[in-house]
Amino acid sequence: MSFSAIFVQLLNGLASASSLFLVAAGLSLIFGVTRIVNFAHGSLYMLGTYTAYSLVQWFGGGIPGFWSGVLLSGVIVGLFGALVERLLLRRLYHAPELLQLLATFALVLIISDFTLWAWGPEDLLGPRAPGLAGAISIAGRRFPEYDLFLILLGPLVLGLLWLLLTRTRWGTLVRAATEDREMAGALGVNQAWLFTSVFALGSFLAGLGGAIQIPREPAVLTMDLSILSDVFVVVVVGGMGSIPGAFLAAVIIGVLKAMCIGIGNVHAFGIDFSFSKLTLVVEFIVMAVVLVIRPWGLFGRSQGAPRAASTEPPLNLPSPALQKLLLAGLIMLALLPLASDRYTLVLMTDILVFALFAVSLHFIMGPAGMHSFGHAAYFGLGAYAAALLFKHVLPMELALALAPFAAGLGALLFGWFCVRLSGVYLAMLTLAFAQIAWSVVYQWDSFTGGSNGMVGVWPAQWLASKTTFYYLALVLCAGGTMVLWRILYSPFGYGLRAGRDSPLRADAIGIDVRRQQWLGFALAGTFAGLAGAVYAFSKGSISPDALSIPRSVDGLVMVLMGGIQTLTGAVAGAAVFTWLQDSISRQTEFWRALLGGIILFLVLVFPQGIAGFIRERWEARSGRSEA
């Protein structure tokens, strides 16, 4: 590649870095002050793009029309963000942090369907920017003027934000609240107002970041999640809460991605290597490397433990009554095929699979306190291992038996890195690894079937009927759940909880917390892999969706819907979620919005999760009858 080509790619990278920075700065600000990981941030970006597209069309093409349309889109999205904060998130500040995350994910679903409803499924490309529609010649190549404008916009916004944060009272209060919001409150700072304004500013930046994209990239319905993972990476690499960090990280990642596209295929040492295929993973590789070397990102600082020591409630053994209930449920599940049709059996098999998946996620999230945003990686690894082993070498039974261990090995490898971090950083790294696994599977056409996945992954003859397979799933998934639950009440399980509540004290009494967490992570991965393997054979095919981000989020939703600090919550959450998804996706085209609405409702009404809610009722009732 010639020097001038490299140079132009460098400029390209810088231009895309600007939009990335705007969105990331918004996310970082919001996280810093409210401690909310705003999953809906990518959706705000998407809204910005679509709104700008419409406004610019409506205002007409001239210079004032275009630029006021772009700016106004940012303002509209900012107001929308403020509204979301006031009407929704404000009710959840006293709820567990993860629940706020669930609420923002529900918003993702709703906004996604709203966009589909309002703008339709076609990609929409905006007009060129009037006044900057031309191109200039750089090193003998033509380079769009608009991209030069974007290159300048990034540092400009960085400078303005810096002034805002260091030279105004508002900025001082924001920085104070980022560090210790309770103390700021005790000094008379109204957090509610501060949170709303930060949310508005963050959303404005996201909307503006989306709006400035219209001359460069078409508005598409998938842009919410694709920018979200980019932005997570930028914020984590830069350091959560650091605006200059976000800028540096956006530049690094924007440039590296552009370079990978620019370099393309390279033939060296007799090997063909495609750099453009690396584009999807390069940012996650950067993130993994940075987090291992600097666990809090380039400019981030160690987050102190939360001020109010939040000890989790104990994980009680199921009461005798509940144990009887579980046993009765199991018997009913065993008798189910006698009284149900084929469709119900398939749905029930799905529910069993996802129950085990959710229980394995709960295993590391609840008792071990490691919040994984990428648990689908192990589900998918298990599914793909089963399919590949079956296709290439082994009979189905052996493939099914070995696949979980492949997932376990993957979890052992990824987990080694993950347990070195904690909190949001750990969550982001798990997400990064899942995305790497997804990219590999998605792009390795010759081995994994690429985006088409693999078909013909059918169970052995004797397991082929839906009923027999249902029993197989019941034995494996219920069995796996029992094993995981049993482990939680073994010394190993107690050690995990000790490590979660006080790593320092656990260390001091001789528990190797990190090793314990590592093994717990691998164990959870193994069982997720088992669920994945059963899933592959139940469907007869497998696609990269099995380890995509939405699948990971499904797992999170199940666990949180059920109630994270209950034992049986994950099962309840998986059952309700899978059933809901199945039944409403058959009702309406806009099932995502409906599902999002239901999640929001559940979050607002049962902040302690379904199982947690039932338990509280139960305790309140038995408490009263005792008294």
Partner 1 sequence: MLELKGVNSAYGRAHILFDLSLSANRGEVVVLLGRNGAGKSTTLKTLIGLVRPLSGEISFGGRRIEQLEAYQIARLGLGYVPEERRIFTDLSVMENLEVGRQSPRTGAPQWTPEKLFGLFPNLAAMRTRRGAHMSGGEQQMLTIARTLMGNPSAILLDEPSEGLAPVIVEQMANTILELKQEGLCVLLSEQNLHFANLVADRAYIIEKGHIRYQGTMTELAANEQIRATYLSI
Write out the residues near partner 1 by the rule CB under 8 A.
169, 172-173, 175-176, 178-180, 182-191, 311
Contact call for residues 538 and 348 (beta carbons, < 8 A): no
Contact call for residues 418 and 368 (beta carbons, < 8 A): no
The answer for residues whose C-beta is within 8 angstroms of residue 517's C-beta and 6 or more apart is 368, 370, 415, 419, 496, 499
State the nearest-atom distance from the C-beta of 95 to partner 1, in Å: 15
Between strands 454-455 and 541-542, the pairing is: antiparallel
d(CA 456, CA 464): 12
Q: Name the phi and psi angles at 269, rounded to 5.
A: 50, 35
d(CA 9, CA 20): 16
**Nearest CB to partner 1, comparing residues 192 and 266:** 192
- Residues making up the chain, counted from first to last: 627
User: Which SS3 state, helix, strand or coil, does residue 542 take?
Assistant: strand
**Nearest CB to partner 1, comparing residues 178 and 349:** 178
The answer for residues whose C-beta is within 8 angstroms of residue 617's C-beta and 6 or more apart is none
**Nearest CB to partner 1, comparing residues 272 and 626:** 626
Exposed (0-12), middle (13-18) or buried (19+): which is 296, by Cβ within 10 Å?
Answer: buried
**Nearest CB to partner 1, comparing residues 544 and 612:** 612
State the nearest-atom distance from the C-beta of 83 to partner 1, in Å: 22
Q: Name the phi and psi angles at 141, rounded to 5.
A: -120, 155
Exposed (0-12), middle (13-18) or buried (19+): which is 314, by Cβ within 10 Å?
Answer: exposed
The residue assigned the tokens 């996310």 is 27
The answer for residues whose C-beta is within 8 angstroms of residue 548's C-beta and 6 or more apart is 376, 380, 438
State the nearest-atom distance from the C-beta of 334 to partner 1, in Å: 39
**Nearest CB to partner 1, comparing residues 180 and 341:** 180
Q: Which of 242, 223, 209 is nearest to 18 (CA)?
A: 209
d(CA 524, CA 383): 15
**Nearest CB to partner 1, comparing residues 314 and 510:** 314
State the nearest-atom distance from the C-beta of 294 to partner 1, in Å: 18
**Nearest CB to partner 1, comparing residues 311 and 446:** 311
State the nearest-atom distance from the C-beta of 315 to partner 1, in Å: 16
**Nearest CB to partner 1, comparing residues 30 and 259:** 30
State the nearest-atom distance from the C-beta of 305 to partner 1, in Å: 12
State the nearest-atom distance from the C-beta of 500 to partner 1, in Å: 17
How many helices and strands, by DSSP H and E, does the chain display?
Answer: 24, 6
Max Cα–Cα distance, the chain, nearest Å: 87
DSSP state of 219: B
State the nearest-atom distance from the C-beta of 341 to partner 1, in Å: 48
What stretch of H or E contains 357? helix 342-365
**Nearest CB to partner 1, comparing residues 127 and 171:** 171
State the nearest-atom distance from the C-beta of 169 to partner 1, in Å: 6
d(CA 510, CA 494): 13
**Nearest CB to partner 1, comparing residues 173 and 575:** 173
**Nearest CB to partner 1, comparing residues 175 and 514:** 175
State the nearest-atom distance from the C-beta of 189 to partner 1, in Å: 6
State the nearest-atom distance from the C-beta of 194 to partner 1, in Å: 10
Tell me the residue ranges of DSSP E strands in 288-378: none
Provide the token pair at 317: 């053994």
Q: 36: phi > 0 → left, psi -120 to 50 → alpha, else beta; which?
A: beta
State the nearest-atom distance from the C-beta of 232 to partner 1, in Å: 23
**Nearest CB to partner 1, comparing residues 302 and 585:** 302
